[in-house]
Structures are given as C-alpha cells and as structure tokens.
Chain A
Amino acid sequence: MSAVRDRESAPVITGVGVVAPNGLDRETWWRATLEGSSGLGRISRFDPAGYPVTVAGEATGFRAADHAPARLVAETDAMTQYAFAAANEALADAGVAEDSLADLDMAAITANSSGGVEFGQRELQKLYSEGPQAVGAYMSIAWFYAATTGQLSIRHGMRGPCGVLCSEQAGGLDVLAQARRVLAKGTRLVLSGGTDASLSPYGLVCQLSNGRLSEEPRPERAFVPFDPAAGGYVPGEGGAILVVESAADARARGAGRIYAELAGYAATTDPRPGSGRPPGIRRALELALADAGTAPEDIDVVFADGYGVPELDRQEAEAVTGVFGPAGVPVTVPKTMTGRLYAGGAALDVAAAVLALRDQVIPPSVNVRPDPAHHLDLVTDRPREASLRTALVLARGYGGFNAAVVLRAA
C-alpha cells in the first residue's frame, strides 16, 4: 500500500507505437480494432497442415527494410524488427528530440518471451545440415531475450538502466513498473512495452507443450475467451512500444499529448498447482487499485487478459465480478482480433487502453458469445462510446504470473 504519489512525478505515457496482426502502425491498428477487424487467419508463414494448431495472428505485410537499415535487419529476428518499427513510431509520436537528453538519462526496458525463435531455427538448421562453420555470427545475439532491448539501446543511444523482463504475457505490464522505478531514481525517459514473434515451426512446437493452444481451424471460432465454446488461445506476433517519462518532464518540454498516467500497478504469482489456494489474479487487481488510491467504482473499463481457457476464464471473471460486482464494469478483450502476443500482448492492451481514453470509446471483443455464467458486461461486436477517465489492464503469464495496471487520463 503506497500513498497516492505526487502527480508531478507520476510516470506518463507520451508516445505509442504498434505492430499488430490487424494493423502495422498505431492508427491503422486502432481503426481496425474499433471496426472489429480481426487479424487472425490460417498460418501462412509455413504450411501448418502437419501441426495441431493452424490459426495464428500474423503481422502480414510487415517489411523490416522500411524501418531499419539492411545491416540491422540482417542481424535481428522479427521480434526485434517489430520493435524497431514501433519504437520509431512511439518516439515520433512523443516528439522527443533524442539529442535533447543525455544518453545516460534514457533507457530501453522491454518485455520478451519468445526470443528470436525464427532466426534461431534458421541457424540451427544450418548447424545440423552444413556444420558449425555455416552458423552466422549474429546467432550469438539475435535469438537472445535481451536482443530487442540491446538493439533499441544502441540504435537510439539510450545508455541508462536498460533491462528486459521475462514473465510471459504479464511482462508488458511489469516493464511499466520497472520504468516507474528507474524514473523515480532519476532516469528521464524510458522506451517501454514489448514485442514477440513466435511463429516459426520450431516456435509453434515449443508453445504446444503448455496445452493451452486452440486446435480449432476456423479463425472466427479459434479464440473466444469468456464464451462457452472457449477451447484455448491463438498465438500472435507483434506488440507495442511506449514512451514513458514523468508528468513534469512531459509538461516542461511541451509534449504534444499525454495519453495517460501510470497510476497503479501490482504483480502477484499463483500458488503451486494443487495447493488449493486461490489464484493470484484478484489480489493483483486489488493491489493495483490500492496502489493507485482508486476505488472499484472509479474504474471505467477493464481490459481483461482473456486467456480463452475455460478454467482460467472462470478465474478471471470471478476476480473481476468479485471486485466490481456482477456486470459492474464494462470489460473488453481486443486481443480476440490479434491472438495472444506474449510479451507484446499486455503492451498492446495498454496501447488500446490509452487510445480508448483518448477517443472515449471502448473497443469490442469479436466473435465472442459471452457465457452468462461469467456475469461480465463484455463489450462485443461493436465499440461502445463511454465517458472514460480510468482504465484497468489485467495480464496473466504462463507459469503463474499476474499483473495489473491502472491508467488514468492525464
């Protein structure tokens, strides 16, 4: 429990960049999201016929060469290339002149889960088919969890306290907490958020082991969280990069837009399976509200994690209704249009939440026929105009990670 912080030193989001399956830049993605236009489809990057999972959210049409020089493209995996594009967009959006800040005052802190799995698969294939001499030198850095943070740090001259967080889908919120910590210690600007790319054959097989992926071949039925027919989730790629700085700094430099303040955050871990103790998602939610000094009635919209696995959907719905009451707050899952982006997932939900605050509209969850047993006021099919001041974003990562963030319009 912390006291409500001084609003001047509060971290605020001033730039947003996006690469998603249903839109390769922020405004294109946001328009598609409000239109309910899904990016899910049959996997096209390789022939999925031999795999139990055939549907994914691919960032189709993305051209790395449009966002970074060839020599950087050659040494990076798609996960990092998405971050190059989203970081360019976020920094331009924030209107930060990078030379206006000392390199030690800026940091890149991103979430990662997939690693550079497509790049890694290519080099491993060279290893077993041609021998060690054929493996490229960039294998040493491209498939590493920290590759994206490192490349952003080098490219944008950010030599402050950089880092990478690996807590699967919760990572996109955990990085905001880490941004808050380093800003409190004097760092002036943080590139936050996360991107992932897990859609190579090897990457897909790695994911199959968690037993939570949807084997439904129809894209419009493959990922339907909170629906009686929920049967797992669909993987996706992409994510969001966010520019975070203090409210005082943003105002002092005349930032064009302050999207939202990071008002509260909390993370919990689930108990050991079979312990009989309750899952940690409700506690994360309550602790984030307490951290923000916010009552449940002050929350105008909830961006749910929406796992799409019946038992996990039930746990999350119980956490939400336990705090807000039955149908007590509008809930939405725009990731029904992208799939679960792992480290990019919660970061993209934060982007959706701050754009919802900007435009005073709640994006829909598509293809879902809500199970009445969950007692959720789920915004389906069409966007809902609403007076929005405060949004809550929930995220759960495989392995027992839970995180919650409260975002308040500045």
Chain B
Amino acid sequence: MSSISFDDLKAVIGRCIGEADGQEITEGDLGTPFTDLGYDSLAVLEIASQLQREYGLKIPDEAIESMESPQAVIDYVNTSLAAV
C-alpha cells in the first residue's frame, strides 16, 4: 500500500464514524473544510487514529490540526506513505 484514494478515506471514515445514513461525503467534498461538512475536531482526531492503526503511520498532533479537509488528509497520508 503506497497511497490511499478518496474511496479508501471514505471507508476509513465509515469504520470510525459508522456512517450508513446517506450523509457520507462525496468526491465533490474533497476540498471542503471538515467543519463545513459537519465533522468536529474530535471526528478528525478519530479519523487520524484510525488511519494510524490501519496504515501503520505515526501522525503527530500538529499534523492532525492541519488536516482541514478530506484532501488535506489524503495528501498527508500519501506523502507519509511515499517516505516509508
């Protein structure tokens, strides 16, 4: 696994937020801030924790703070995976 896609991220979000009610994000939301999508800071923390467990990453707290949108998460994870 050297990179993650939007669908991979969506699956991660589904696993930790348990979404199955038609409120899931779409590719059109990639650049939208999490706060505008209805995800609070704890949700982003939860998504980051799940990514750390599933992809064997170590994501520092300050990196989590800068993950403002789904695209920012994908970019950060893919940069980290490429560096491994």
Evaluate contact between B53 and A70: CB separation under 8 angstroms. no
Q: Is the CB of B17 within 8 A of A71?
A: yes
In chain A, positions 48-92 with a C-beta closer than 8 Å to chain B are 65, 69-71, 73-75
Tell me if A140 is interfacial: C-beta within 8 Å of chain B. yes
**Complex-state Cα separation, A73 to B19, whole angstroms:** 9
User: Is A137 at the interface (CB under 8 A from chain B)?
Assistant: yes
Are A70 and B18 within 8 A (Cβ)?
Answer: yes
Fill in one digit per residue for B15-28: 1 if any A CB lies within 8 Å of its CB, else 0. Answer: 01111110100000
Q: Are A137 and B17 in contact (CB under 8 A)?
A: no
In the complex, the answer to whether B42 meets A70 with C-beta atoms within 8 Å is no
Given contacts A71-B23, A71-B39, A138-B42, contact A133 B49 (CB under 8 A): yes
CB distance from B55 to the nearest CB of A (A): 13
CB atoms of B46 and A137 under 8 A apart? yes
Determine which residue in B19, B42, B43, B49 has the highest number of CB atoms from chain A within 10 A of its CB, and name it.
Answer: B42
Other-chain residue from A69, A133, A141 in contact with B42 (beta carbon distance below 8 A): A141
B41 CB, nearest partner CB in chain A, Å: 9
Interface size class of chain A, counting residues whose CB lies under 8 Å from the partner chain: 10 to 19
Kindly state the separation between the CA atoms of A70 and B18 in the bound complex, as whole angstroms.
6
In B1-60, the 8 Å CB interface with A consists of 16-21, 23, 38-39, 42-43, 45-46, 49, 52-53
B19 surroundings in chain A (CB, below 8 A): 70-71, 74
CB-contact partner of B53 in A65, A69, A133, under 8 A: A133
Query: Which of A133, A136, A140, A141 contacts B16, CB < 8 Å?
Result: A136
Distance (whole angstroms) from the CB of A375 to the closest CB of chain B: 54
Instruction: Please pick, from A73, A133, A141, the residue contacting B52 in the complex, using a CB distance under 8 A.
Output: A133
- A134 close to B (CB within 8 Å): yes
List, in ascending order, chain B residues with CB within 8 A of A136's CB: 16, 46, 49
Q: Which of A74, A137, A140, A141 has the most CB of B within 10 A?
A: A137
- What's the Cα separation between A69 and B38 when bound, in Å? 11
CB distance from B4 to the nearest CB of A (A): 19
CB distance from A75 to the nearest CB of B (A): 7
Supposing A75-B42, A138-B42, A141-B42 touch, asked if A69 and B21 sit within 8 A by C-beta, the answer is yes
**Smallest CB–CB gap between B67 and chain A, Å?**
13
Could you say which residues of chain B place their CB within 8 Å of the CB of A69? Answer: 21, 23, 38
With a cutoff of 8 Å between Cβ atoms, the chain A residues found around residue B21 in the complex are 65, 69-70
- Residue in contact with A70 in the complex, picked from B17, B45, B46, B52, CB distance below 8 Å: B17
Q: How far is the CB of B58 from chain A (nearest CB, A)?
A: 10
Cα-based distance from A138 to B17 in the complex (angstroms): 10
Instruction: Return the contact of B18 from the options A74, A133, A140 (Cβ within 8 A).
Output: A74
Which residues of A are found within 8 Å of B38, using beta-carbon distances?
Answer: 69, 71
Contacts of B43 in A (CB 8 A): 71, 75, 137
Chain A residues whose CB sits within 8 angstroms of the CB of B53 once the complex forms: 133-134
Min CB gap B36→A, angstroms: 14
With known contacts A137-B42, A141-B42, A74–B17 Cβ distance under 8 A: yes
Nearest-Cβ distance from residue A154 to partner chain B, whole angstroms: 9
Of all chain B residues, which has the CB nearest A73?
Answer: B18
Chain A residues proximal to chain B, CB less than 8 Å: 65, 69-71, 73-75, 133-134, 136-138, 140-141
Apart from the given pairs A71-B38, A137-B42, 10 other A-B contacts in the complex at a CB distance below 8 Å: A65-B21, A69-B38, A70-B19, A70-B20, A71-B19, A74-B19, A134-B53, A136-B49, A137-B43, A141-B42
- 6 smallest A-B Cβ distances: which pairs? A137-B45, A137-B46, A74-B18, A70-B21, A70-B19, A137-B42
30 contacts between A and B (CB under 8 A): A69-B21, A69-B23, A70-B18, A70-B19, A70-B21, A70-B23, A71-B17, A71-B18, A71-B19, A71-B39, A71-B43, A73-B18, A74-B16, A74-B17, A74-B18, A74-B19, A75-B42, A75-B43, A133-B49, A133-B52, A133-B53, A134-B53, A136-B46, A137-B43, A137-B45, A137-B46, A137-B49, A138-B42, A140-B42, A141-B42
